[in-house]
Amino acid sequence: MTYDVLIVGGGITGCMTAYRLSGYRLRVAVAEATGDVAMGATKANSAIVHAGYDAVPGTLKAKYNVAGCAEMPELARLLDVPYNNCGSLVCAFSEDDMPALRELLERGEKNGVPGLEIVSGERARELEPALSEEIYAALWAPTAGIVCPYELCIAAGETAARNGCDFYFNFPVERIRAADGHLVAESRGREISARFVVNAAGAHSAELAVKSGDLDFPVEIIPRRGEYGLLDKGKGPRVRRVVFACPTERGKGILVSPTVDGNVIVGPNAHRVESADDTSTTSEGIEEVFEGGRRLVPGVSPRDMITSFAGVRATPSTGDFYVRPSERVSGLLHLVGIESPGLAASPALSRAAVELLGEMGLHLEENPDAVMERPPVVRFRLLRASEKNELIKRDPSYGRIVCRCETITEGEILDAIRRPLGARDIDMVKRRVRAGMGRCQGGFCSPRVAELLAKELGISLGEVTKKGCGSELVPRDCERDGELIV
Ligand SMILES: Cc1cc2nc3c(=O)[nH]c(=O)nc-3n(C[C@H](O)[C@H](O)[C@H](O)COP(=O)(O)OP(=O)(O)OC[C@H]3O[C@@H](n4cnc5c(N)ncnc54)[C@H](O)[C@@H]3O)c2cc1C
């Protein structure tokens, strides 16, 4: 069959576009190289819904960031994803930093960011008591917020899937070629046909454009890795707002921020890497981010860190998002160079993608049967005692706690496996319901999660993996990409 639209890449850009398109009478599919959505930059970033003062006025980054930030609270409500409008502070340490702060204020005002204000160090510490005494002044952005980036992506993908969007996992698109009035995405001898293709392949998007015939593609992606430390809940200083240092030419700089789940993150640094898939962390990198973090919030310490992680920025050589139809391949739309603020911008960027597809000839007729709201997810830990008791009476699986660090019940894990785009390995369960996200990092609950996966998926315990083929809990041979992994 030929789809109306095929989206290459299941990150926030691709899944949010699939979500938007799933509201129309269209056959839509997503082809994702890995085994799950949100496995690229969307999995490992600062999770900030930036207010929009950082992007240069007149750029697509500025336009989509401000509009995306404004829409995020309602979108998070529709998709039942936690969102916190905590606001952000960009901190100046002395009069020397003030020109940078004033420039951000000016940019923000030009970009239409509401409520921006330069406040004194004293006022900044009232807003965020954990802030260093060294802070001289700060840019306060009350519209900034935080969200869980992979949960937002999973929720958008799940809702698109409920509306009939097909997902092809482990389908790394090698190239897109034109054939008889439509396009064909090729992957290791397999093919998907579509009238329109959206290139949302993150750090690999420029490479895909070139391989698909855009030989003089004007954007190069420079992969830049950012490392983070995640602190144990209740350890170290309690941070309520996003706290940045002044930005540098390498990015927004190191920040200290709460997460929607009650942890604190410190990071990221910014270093160019050879491979767009290099998400390793280094002890020097972690030292660097904590040194930067301590200047803003004294007391953040690697001693309280429960894990480290890294994400790779798809930095475009042009400095801005590239959101345009291909000049060479008819029907191909590029969403390339979606670095920060790509998460914050995703609600608006995905709307723009749909609009462009319409201009390219895609017939957009709303589907009255499409449901754009995600059925609520049970978060047992957040319920009142009476609600917990009621739920357990209805379904006793909610009375069995599997992950003690995060208080995640068997009922929540079963739901995560049974939903559309459901979990098929231990890390997929972790990203959907937080089982294994706490202090023990899955040390205690993984065996029970594996048992539940085996039973629900009808496979043996030996076939359950941590994160796909090659990560079986019990060593065994398996095949990945046609190659035998022993
Ligand atoms: C360190 C860091 C901090 C950041 N902080 C923030 C922040 O606080 N706020 C904010 O707004 N933004 C932030 N960002 C940016 C944000 O994370 C990205 O803009 C956003 O996640 C990009 O989403 P995407 O879907 O375009 O790319 P990705 O999430 O990378 O998704 C691309 C997907 O395409 C798949 N893929 C690649 N090639 C192929 C292929 N050939 N065939 C099939 N599939 C393919 C990949 O597997 C991946 O799943 C940050 C990024 C980083 C790295």
Q: Is the pLDDT of residue 259 over 50?
A: yes
CA distances from 10 to 18, 33, 35, 80, 161 (A): 9, 8, 10, 19, 12
Among 198, 343, 350, 428, the mutation site with the greatest number of ligand 1 atoms within 8 A of its Cβ is 343
Query: Is 50 labeled as catalytic in the residue annotation?
Result: yes
How many Cα atoms within 13 Å fall on the side-chain side of residue 446?
18
| 39 Cα nearest atom in ligand 1 | 49
Cα–Cα dist 208/165, whole Å = 22
Cα–Cα dist 37/153, whole Å = 7
The fraction of the chain above a pLDDT of 70, given in percent, is 97
What pLDDT, on a 0 to 100 scale, did the predictor assign at position 469?
84
What pLDDT, on a 0 to 100 scale, did the predictor assign at position 478?
63
CATH superfamily for domain 2-42+150-220+318-359: FAD/NAD(P)-binding domain (3.50.50.60)
CA of 14 to the centre of ligand 1 (A): 9
Domain 83-145+222-316 maps to which CATH number in 3.30.9.10, 1.10.1040.10, 3.40.140.10, 3.40.250.10? 3.30.9.10
Q: Which of 50, 204, 334, 363 is catalytic?
A: 50
| 37 Cα nearest atom in ligand 1 | 49
Measured by CA distance, the residue closest to atom 4 of ligand 1 is 45
Confidence of residue 302 (pLDDT cuts 50, 70, 90): very high
Among candidate residues 7, 101, 10, 13, the one with its CA nearest the CA of residue 341: 13
Residue 200 in contact with ligand 1 by CB distance below 6 A: yes
Q: What is the largest CA-CA distance in the chain?
A: 67
Tell me the pLDDT tens digit for each residue of 98-109.
Answer: 999 999 999 999
CA of 339 to the centre of ligand 1 (A): 7
Residue 173 in contact with ligand 1 by CB distance below 6 A: yes
The stretch 125-142 carries a mean pLDDT of 98
Residue 47 in contact with ligand 1 by CB distance below 6 A: yes
List the domain boundaries for the chain: 2-42+150-220+318-359, 83-145+222-316, 380-485
CA of 345 to the centre of ligand 1 (A): 12
Model confidence, pTM: 0.96
Cα–Cα dist 224/123, whole Å = 34
Residue 176 in contact with ligand 1 by CB distance below 6 A: no
Backbone angles phi, psi at 263, to 5 degrees: -95, 180
Residue 316 in contact with ligand 1 by CB distance below 6 A: no
For residue 481, give both structure tokens. Answer: 């990409």
| Bridge pairing between strands 137-141 and 145-147 | unpaired
Sequence-distant (≥ 6) Cβ neighbours of residue 456 within 8 angstroms: 414, 417, 418
The stretch 245-255 carries a mean pLDDT of 79
The stretch 301-322 carries a mean pLDDT of 96
Measured by CA distance, the residue closest to atom 15 of ligand 1 is 340
For residue 79, give both structure tokens. Answer: 């998709």
> Helices 426-433 and 446-457, interaxial angle, to 10°?
100
Which CATH fold topology does 380-485 show? Answer: Arc Repressor Mutant, subunit A (1.10.10)
For residue 32, give both structure tokens. Answer: 């994702």
CA angle 157, 162, 165 (to 5 degrees): 65
Name the least confident of 127-136, 225-234, 248-257, 357-366: 248-257
Tell me the pLDDT tens digit for each residue of 182-201.
Answer: 999 999 999 999 999 999 99
Tell me the pLDDT tens digit for each residue of 321-369.
Answer: 999 999 999 999 999 999 999 999 999 999 999 999 999 999 999 999 9
CA of 338 to the centre of ligand 1 (A): 7
Backbone angles phi, psi at 409, to 5 degrees: -95, 165
Q: Average model confidence (pLDDT) for the chain?
A: 95
The stretch 301-327 carries a mean pLDDT of 97
At position 121, the amino acid (one-letter code) is G
Cα–Cα dist 275/279, whole Å = 9
| Bridge pairing between strands 221-231 and 264-267 | antiparallel
Residue 34 in contact with ligand 1 by CB distance below 6 A: yes
Confidence of residue 236 (pLDDT cuts 50, 70, 90): confident
CA of 450 to the centre of ligand 1 (A): 28
